[in-house]
Amino acid sequence: MQDEPAPEPPTPEDIRARADALRDQKRWAEAEAAYREYLAERPRHWQIHVQLGHTRKEQGDPEGALPHYRRAALLAPDDPDPMLQAGHVLRHLGRGGEAAEALGRALALAPESPDLRHVVALLRHRTLPPPEGPALPPPPRPAGKPTQIAFDVTDLLDYLRAARTPTGIQRVQMGILGALLAAPGRPANLLLVGFEGATWRWWHVDEAAFRHVLALARIGGREDDPAWRSAVAALVAPDARPDAPFLAGGTLCSLGNAWGVQEYFRGLRRLRATTPLRYVAFVHDCVPLAMPEHCLDLTVRLYARWFAALSLHADGILANSRATIADFARFAAPLAKPAPAGLVRLAAEAGASPVAASAAADALPAPRPGEEFVLFVATLESRKNHLMVFQAWLSLIRKLGPERVPRLVCVGRPGWRADAALALLAGSPALRRKVTVQSGVSDLALAGLYDRCLFTVYNSYHEGWGLPVSESLAAGKLAVVPAHSGLLEAGAPGAVFFTPQDEPDLVAKLEALLTEPGHRIALEARIDRAAARRDWPDAAREVLEALANPAEATAPPQPLPLGRHLAMGWRGEGRPSPDMAWAERVRDGLAWWWQEEWGVWTRDGIATLTLPASLPAGTLLRVVLELRGPPRPLALRLRARGARAEAWRGLTLQAGETLRCVLQAEAGPGGLAVDLDSGDGVPLGDRFKRVVGVGLLGVMLCREDDLAARLGALERAEG
């Protein structure tokens, strides 16, 4: 009987295929053994050294993965992947300095990689050189005309990521910026920028992509439309775009809601440290301060912090009405001398083709073609008080009969605290037959609705301006509005005013317009359509005029109040305060996390506090720090920098320990700075996977000879 031939030994390719199959099945230990068997035959195959590192990492041994990634890097010095993998593992291990070095080497090999640029930016706080030398004052604000005008569109891009149909402030931004970018004589130095709070990076927004998205938003459509999603994806991609090319002496202007942007003012301070520029913010209203009960609690708190910080950061303010300017001055008065304010009235553009607008309106579910209706354009939220309008409509139905009451078409997204209004609508069959609520209506279709409606109604507890009122009057249609705030200015060209929150007066005004056509026609004839209709180019010119001719700053930058304890926590105050502004202002550089109720964590590496003081150089100062230990013991180094950098001091904080530390130094040209070096920090164990250093609960700066302040700090320390 003939012996069967012995089976051929597996080739290296067979072994690798088996290892890859085991890896795909997540049988990590077996895959590791197979990869090692392969490398015994092909020891210079660097990609398999990377795979071997992955098997160790997936088995819970990230430290054991590092030698394999480093071996792969030696074998493939021109490929970024081994250093990228090593950097990820080092970040996981909390070795931020080594991670930053590894990822920096990877980026040097692939400088165009958006993913690598992003991850390296996240670790910039470990690659920057430590601060040295005396505490310096911030660079002076520029004088004269701006060398460049940059518009920050961060919040608008955030909105467009999630929605297609603009509302309120987004419509204002898109109208002004669209007009500026399309103007034949536009300034040559105009720039669009965005801010990414996670990496503290200002990036250059592509103008062509921005204009394309604005055009698509104007015509409306589905938010899941592939063309729309593709256009937005091409626009909102900061990692794929270069840094914003700011020029010294320029002006940065935010036309939108910067109060919701993470770490915004710290990003602005960081930008100003290298590029002196002015900052101007558009204040659309002060509703979260004037009417906090009609806003989300988070909105009130964010807005209050932003508003407080304006007192230390803004060189100028733009506002849409005299009422808003008065509100701004009233709420800013306790903070500091208000920044100069310029008036930019909002536009009510009437440039849509009547035929196209009518066709777009006819395509809506309601009203039916030829049906009479009254229009109410506003987000469904408690501040717009749809409930009162619905109750008024129900009163009209009962008084006049349903056949004499037209349909009420409400255009707007459901928003905050609209439950009562929607519950009334849902519970009343008579109301449901006469009221329609719809969102996602394009500007084109909205123009058609204005043209066809009998008149409009706009109810609100408080407004900065009231764009739907201007749009209604510009279309020649009466607007029924309460007589208060910015609505008095928006409605000045011919609105019908009723007593605010007076339902009987509203019903009476509505009944007269519905039952007396001659009365309505006579009032329509008195509308000053020219005054109401202001194209967006008009508003855009006013914006440019205000930015190109700034009021010169007369007061020096404010110093930190001496001798007063400054709590670093975000304690949920709904009113802006100087302490709130300074808690934001004193955090410098990149090595800080966001503020929390109790205080703020530093990151790994060196975090810096800047404490500006207007004192003669050499004045002896004392700073008292209230510190909190992270979840594990931490070795901390601290030093003060005033007239010079003092020697580092060391202390160890136990897990969760709170203590007070006193540092002394002579005042420098900019007051005092404090550096806190937490080394590689410790994992916090939260859902954000943060690595933290020391926590800061509070700080107090005083003259060394201020015995009252020192006694106050001692009493605070004793409870």
Q: At what angle do helices 297-313 and 322-332 cross, to 10 degrees?
A: 80
Burial of 455 (0-12, 13-18, 19+ CB in 10 A): buried
Cα–Cα nearest to 122, from 143, 103, 144: 103
Task: Check residues 2 and 74 and name the one with the higher pLDDT.
Answer: 74
pTM across the whole model: 0.90
Cis peptide bond upstream of 7, omega within 30:
no
Give residue 222's pLDDT band: very low, low, confident or very high (50, 70, 90): confident
- What is the pLDDT confidence band of residue 350, given thresholds at 50, 70 and 90? low
- Structural domain spans, the chain: 12-126, 149-343, 354-533, 566-717
Q: What pLDDT score was predicted for residue 72?
A: 96
pLDDT (tens digit, 9 = 90+) per residue, 666-698? 999 999 999 999 999 999 999 998 999 999 999
Lowest-confidence pick of 37-41, 137-141, 177-181, 541-545: 137-141
Mean pLDDT score, 272-301: 94
Percentage of the chain surpassing pLDDT 70? 98
Backbone CA torsion sign across 482, 488, 490, 491: positive
Mean pLDDT, residues 125-140 taken together: 88
- Report pLDDT digits (tens) over 578-597: 999 999 999 998 999 999 99
Cα separation of 56 and 272, whole Å? 45
Q: What is the pLDDT of residues 381-401, one digit of tens each?
A: 999 999 999 999 999 999 999
Same fold: 149-343 with 566-717? no
For residue 554, pLDDT over 80 is answered with no
Average pLDDT for residues 416-433, to the nearest whole number?
93
pLDDT tens, 458-479? Answer: 999 999 999 999 999 999 999 9
Q: Which fold has domain 12-126?
A: 1.25.40
Amino acid at 158: D
Question: Alpha-carbon torsion 161, 165, 170, 174, what sign?
Answer: positive
Fold of 149-343: Rossmann fold (3.40.50)
CB within 8 A of 393, min separation 6: which ones? 405, 408, 431, 434, 435
pLDDT of residue 283: 97
Cβ contact 288:276 at 8 Å: no
Return the closest-CA partner of residue 672 out of 623, 607, 603.
623
Q: Average pLDDT, stretch 565-586?
A: 89
Place 437 in a pLDDT band, splitting at 50, 70 and 90: very high
Mean pLDDT throughout 546-567?
A: 85
pLDDT band at 2 (very low <50, low <70, confident <90, very high): low
At 166, the pLDDT band (50, 70, 90 cuts) reads confident
Cβ contacts of 541 within 8 Å, gap of 6 or more: none
Instruction: Assess whether pLDDT exceeds 90 at residue 354.
Output: no
DSSP reduced 3-state for 281: strand
- Average pLDDT of the chain is 93
Cα–Cα–Cα angle for 407, 410, 412, rounded to 5 degrees = 165
Phi, psi of 196 (to 5 degrees): -110, 105
Asked if the 354-533 domain carries CATH number 3.90.1580.10, the reply is: no
Q: For 412-474, where are the E strands, in sequence order?
A: 435-438, 456-457
| Segment 555-576 mean pLDDT | 85
Q: How confident is the model at residue 556 (pLDDT cuts 50, 70, 90)?
A: low
What's the average model confidence in pLDDT over 227-251?
94
**Region 537-544: what's the mean pLDDT?**
93
Of the ranges 6-10, 406-410, 570-574, 606-610, which one carries the lowest mean pLDDT score?
Answer: 570-574
What top-level class would CATH report for the domain 566-717?
mainly beta
